């Protein structure tokens, strides 16, 4: 069947038990709880133990989402893992998750789109379901970012946390599901947020490791402006595509990058903060995992009710950005 509607059937999330507070960071780098909170809105973030890895949390989140969708792993046709912190170079973390779940009928792969990765995956899965290529997809956003931060750089080390979130997509009746989605990128801004080491251009050597080339590097002030503009514009585009307005939004779930970014985007969209979900204070920025974690928290807390119009929007390194509008 062609042009069938795709929607979210189940959600899940998982994160490490370890917590790194602002007070903990103040012992490692010249910063304070007040400095971090006023600039980012973050109070703490989850931190994986040295023996923990990305797929560990991805599998837990995906399994929970599949169970809540009342499906079996064998029902999954497509598994997309959005991550910039894979278990290893080869095979993909998606294939590792597939094996752990027993989703042996699925095509599995990774998406590298930083903080927009989950919405990239949702957009791709939506297209394949609508065109009848697949019936069910699992989209996972999973990261262990704390292993890639420089704890001498207070601009970046205070931001990032670890965790995973997942959603199962499948066909839904008319009136529900994904109404519009858009994804974009602009590689001209690659050095706004990047990790130059570890690839074929700047190979992993003793010298590049000593130089910290594998750590995340960011131009925060410039990134802020581009992020706010891009998220607001693409959000308006999906609303226009669906023939709806910001007043119609029941809940806005933005990528949890910075509380000031969240508030600035909401202001540009004229969405009151009472209709905006934020968990950055307790999770920090978990990149591709931030939106699916937030989405599942909203589902668990009853923040999303049948018929609600939900807008998700993201922005990340690349730079990449996207938005998905759906009716629950």
Active site residues: 115, 255, 285
- Strand ranges (E), the chain: 6-14, 19-21, 44-46, 78-82, 107-111, 137-144, 162-171, 177-185, 193-194, 217-218, 251-254, 309-316, 320-327
Answer yes or no: are the C-beta atoms of 204 and 198 closer than 8 Å: yes
Exposed, middle or buried by CB within 10 Å (0-12, 13-18, 19+), for 274?
exposed
CA distances from 124 to 6, 42, 80, 139, 232 (A): 11, 31, 9, 10, 21
- In whole angstroms, give the CA distance from residue 308 to residue 107: 31
Q: Backbone phi, then psi, for 306, in 5-degree steps?
A: -50, 130
Q: Tokens 């370890």, residue?
A: 18
């Amino acid at each position: 069947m062609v042009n069938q509607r795709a929607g979210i059937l189940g959600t899940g999330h998982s994160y490490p038990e370890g917590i790194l507070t602002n007070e903990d960071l103040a012992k490692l780098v010249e910063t304070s709880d007040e400095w971090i909170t006023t600039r980012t809105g973050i109070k703490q973030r989850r931190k994986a133990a040295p023996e923990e890895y990305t797929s560990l949390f991805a599998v837990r989140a995906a399994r929970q989402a599949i169970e809540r969708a009342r499906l079996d792993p064998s029902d999954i046709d497509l598994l997309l893992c959005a991550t910039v912190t894979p278990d290893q170079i080869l095979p993909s973390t998606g294939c590792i998750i597939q094996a752990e779940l027993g989703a042996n009928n699925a095509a599995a792969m990774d998406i590298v789109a930083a903080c927009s990765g989950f919405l990239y995956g949702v957009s791709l899965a939506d297209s394949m379901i609508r065109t009848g290529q697949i019936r069910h997809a699992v989209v996972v956003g999973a990261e262990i970012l704390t292993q890639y931060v420089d704890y001498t750089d207070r601009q970046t080390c205070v931001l990032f946390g670890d965790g995973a979130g997942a959603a199962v997509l499948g066909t839904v009746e008319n009136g529900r599901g994904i109404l519009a989605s858009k994804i974009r990128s602009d590689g001209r801004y690659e050095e706004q947020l990047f990790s130059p080491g570890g690839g074929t251009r700047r190979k992993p050597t003793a010298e590049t490791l000593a130089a910290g080339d594998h750590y995340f590097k960011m131009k925060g002030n410039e990134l802020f402006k581009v992020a706010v503009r891009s998220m607001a514009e693409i959000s308006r585009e999906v609303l226009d595509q669906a023939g709806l307005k910001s007043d119609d939004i029941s809940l806005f779930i933005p990528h949890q990058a910075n509380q000031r970014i969240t508030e600035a985007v909401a202001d540009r969209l004229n969405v009151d903060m009472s209709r905006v979900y934020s968990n950055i204070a307790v999770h920090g920025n978990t990149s591709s995992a931030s939106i699916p974690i937030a989405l599942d928290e909203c589902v668990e807390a009853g923040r999303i009710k049948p018929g609600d119009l939900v807008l998700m929007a993201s922005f990340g390194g690349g730079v990449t950005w996207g938005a998905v509008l759906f009716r629950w």
